[in-house]
Structure 1
């Protein structure tokens, strides 16, 4: 496959760090870096994340993204310190920006892997649930505790209820109780639970698998997954059969099928 030109990412963000993985150049590591605020999602923090994912959107050299958090928390939700005493327009802007971020995480063609080492609460739980895959440490915990402070986790419920069944989602939303890593895996919020020391290598394992496939086909599949799941069954089949028919005509599909029949490794061209 022809090597894609690499985009340049800023190294002077206030709230995040961005770097290529030391072992996998095609993997971008984005780390939330407000440890003193438990990586709370202030407006500036969310806008920096949006800027990075907008760049990822057009960066063909990136095949997967690992999203992590530095410090005592993965992400503690919105920054309540900047939310007290504001007017309706400020709150509307905050949740507009948050919605843009969450939509973008699922909108980029590259799979996004959340690496959750500790707590993920409220919008932090939403962010993890929004990612395509979630790797969690044994110490990780998840909660949507807004109900306890008078601000129901209404936007987090969108991602949570799409990752977890109705009854468990409602339990988390109505009680605000924490869910441990093992239970989060059992209910479908987490893909894999590992010792904290194995987090990055487990994320890399997922990323390596992604990088073995055609990036064009991965992007087609990711988009189709999120579109079809909101459709009635008949409409979902009508949509996906057209996606698959188009996919089959692509060079990478023909190459992959041919390589399988010829018992060789495929050579992807991204076309």
Structure 2
């Protein structure tokens, strides 16, 4: 977890987009169970393991560039948490998502944080209590997945298309927008969200990138963003 967190933070300084995927037939089954078989009830390793996991998820949200998950096969427990924490999610038709900790006597409390903010709460709670998976189609229906592909190769093509569109826009503007997207969604009321979003949009409109984009529109040319 710590290594992946460091990679996310490092890559975001040099690149315009981050893609998280697996080189095997499954995305991630979550924690290595050997890591969470503790010797005593007060074992301090427990807080370290779950703390590092939470830090990774926060790093994905706080990184200034879009993070895309490519999910093939199983995305279970903390693996599901990782996929759900990404800004976008592409999946193969064979992908499955589950919160199966209850089957081992460990309720998937931290994975439920990002999942319950995307999937309906009743569906999330059913998954938490039964440990049973949902398909990519169900995930797409409820807004967890952006696009479904029939194969890993097609998923790569879909991802390339999305990335090409992202990198054609201003990195600075996307970074500003990503931060506020999550900031306003956490506001208690719609009024507070509008107040926050209006301030950021005002800041954005005064930036050189916006003025260049508007000029390019009127001049019928492609914009040349400085950053």
Instruction: Name the TM tier (shorter chain).
Output: over 0.9
Report the counterpart of residue 93 of structure 1 in structure 2. 48
**Offset, 1:57:** 3.5
1:57–1:109 Cα contact (<8 Å) kept: yes
Secondary structure at 1:153 match in 2? coil
Query: Do residues 219 (structure 1) and 219 (structure 2) align?
Result: no
Residue 50 (str. 1) matches residue 5 (str. 2): yes
**Contact between 2:8 and 2:18, CA under 8 Å: does it hold in 1?**
no
Alignment match, 2:213:
256
CA displacement, residues 49-86 of structure 1 (integer Å, 9 cap, x when unaligned): 01111212422xx0111110121310001111121124
**More deviation, 162-171/215-224:** 162-171
2:195 is equivalent to residue 238 of structure 1: yes
d(CA) in 2 for partners of 1:254 and 1:148?
Answer: 55
Asked if the contact 1:181–1:190 (Cα under 8 Å) also holds between the matched residues in 2, the reply is yes
Residues 160-175 of structure 1 mapped to structure 2, 5 A cutoff: 160-175=115-130
Correspondence for 1:66 among 8, 12, 19 = 19
The count of corresponding residues between Structure 1 and Structure 2 is 223
Check the 8 A contact 2:38/2:45 in 1, yes or no: no
TM, length-normalised to structure 1: 0.80
Between structures 1 and 2, the one with greater strand share: 1
Structure 2: which 5+ runs fail to align? Answer: none
Contact 1:56/1:108 (<8 A) preserved: no
Separation in 2 of the partners of 1:128 and 1:223? Answer: 19
How many angstroms apart in 1 are the aligned matches of 2:126 and 2:158? 30
In 2, are the aligned partners of 1:117 and 1:199 still within 8 Å (CA)?
Answer: no
Determine if contact 1:135/1:193 at 8 Å carries over to the other structure: yes
Cα deviation digits, residues 83-140 of structure 1 (max 9, x gap): 1124431110011100110000111111011000110000000100000000000100
**Equivalent-residue separation in structure 1 for 2:111 and 2:208 (angstroms):** 39
Q: Give the alignment partner of residue 134 of structure 1, picking from 68, 77, 89.
A: 89
| CA deviation after TM superposition for structure 1 residue 218, in Å | 0.6
Write the distance in 1 (CA, Å) between the matches of 2:25 and 2:11: 27
CA contact (8 A) 1:172 1:178 kept: yes
The secondary structure found in structure 2 opposite 1:66 is: strand
Rounded to whole Å, the distance in 2 between the matches of 1:80 and 1:260 is: 55
Query: 1:219 offset after TM fit, Å?
Result: 0.6
- 1:147 aligns with 102
What are the ranges of 5 or more consecutive residues in structure 1 without an aligned counterpart? 1-45
- Distance across 1 between alignment mates of 2:8 and 2:192: 30
Q: Report the TM-score when normalising by structure 2.
A: 0.95
- The 5-angstrom pairing of residues 74-113 of structure 1 reads 74-86=27-39, 87-113=42-68
The secondary structure found in structure 2 opposite 1:155 is coil
